[in-house]
Amino acid sequence: MANKQRVLIVDDDNNIAELISLYFIKECFETMIVNDGESALPAVESFHPNLILLDLMLPGIDGYGVCKEIRKSSQVPIIMLSAKGEVFDKVLGLELGADDYIIKPFDSKELVARVKAVLRRQPAPAVAEEIQGEYVQYEDLLINLTNYSVVYCGKQVDMPPKELELLYYLAKHPNQVFTREQLLDNIWGYEYIGDTRTVDVHVKRVREKIKDRANWSIATVWGIGYKFEVKKV
């Protein structure tokens, strides 16, 4: 029997946390609940979650602080939960490394669907060590979609699933221009309910890790979107 996937729920409202836990237990997940930011950090180390549901408004270290700390050592998917629906709050969460952002109150079916959508893009443990499969290669850059790895200038680059999928998709279609809406549909899928700023944030994060080379670059096409530009040198 396959091991259950683990969801760490970080919310200071224990009633909400218990309710969320019930949703996922019914879907055959294993869950763990912590009620503050300080407890979340050691829980990540001990529970080894496949995904974290992280409330923003926490006592002590808030959700932004927890996300920032986790990202120093782990690329585990994080979905932020918040009653704050402002664009600024969403963008800040995504820039700090969150993979998705859900506004409270939320529908239980939507929450489960979002979690499953993120986890589907995680490499399965049995496949993670394979070196063959779907990949795109350019000078100083290798993006492997089979084992979700990126090698840049000979070094492994840590990259969350959505960033890697975005880079892979663009690189797989060199010199083809994609609108933000097209990238949202192809990378995040129809389950994702968000705006196109999500794409901009992820492109920014990829550019911070992968610098343009003489013969290729991640180019902005003003007023339209992005392309992976390959040049003849």
In a domain, 125, yes or no: no
What is the identity of the amino acid at 18?
E
When pLDDT is cut at 50, 70 and 90, the band that residue 128 belongs to is very low
Choice between 184 and 195, residue whose per-residue pLDDT is larger? 184
Per residue in 33-71, pLDDT (tens digit) is 999 999 998 898 888 899 999 999 898 889 999 999 998
pLDDT band at 85 (very low <50, low <70, confident <90, very high): low
DSSP string, 8-74: EEE-S-HHHHHHHHHHHHHTT-EEEEE-SHHHHHHHHHHH--SEEEEESS-SSS-HHHHHHHHHTT-
More confident residue, 132 or 10: 10
Q: Are residues 113 and 199 in the same domain?
A: no
| Domain assignment present for 64 | yes
CATH code, domain carrying 86? 3.40.50.2300
Domain presence at residue 158: yes
The mean-pLDDT minimum among 15-19, 61-65, 153-157, 161-165 falls in: 153-157
Cβ neighbors of 216 (< 8 A, separation 6 or more) are 138, 139, 141, 174, 228, 229, 230, 231
Q: Domain tally for the chain?
A: 2
Give the end of a domain, one of 92, 120, 148. Answer: 120
Residue 161's SS3 state is helix
| pLDDT score, position 125 | 47
In a domain, 130, yes or no: no
Q: Are residues 111 and 148 in the same domain?
A: no
Domain that holds residue 218: 135-230
Same domain, 169 and 217: yes
Q: Single out the residue in 120, 146, 178 at which a domain terminates.
A: 120
Q: Mean pLDDT, to the nearest integer, of 196-208?
A: 91
The reply to whether 103 and 204 lie within a common domain is: no
Output the six-digit token pair for 192.
Answer: 């994702």
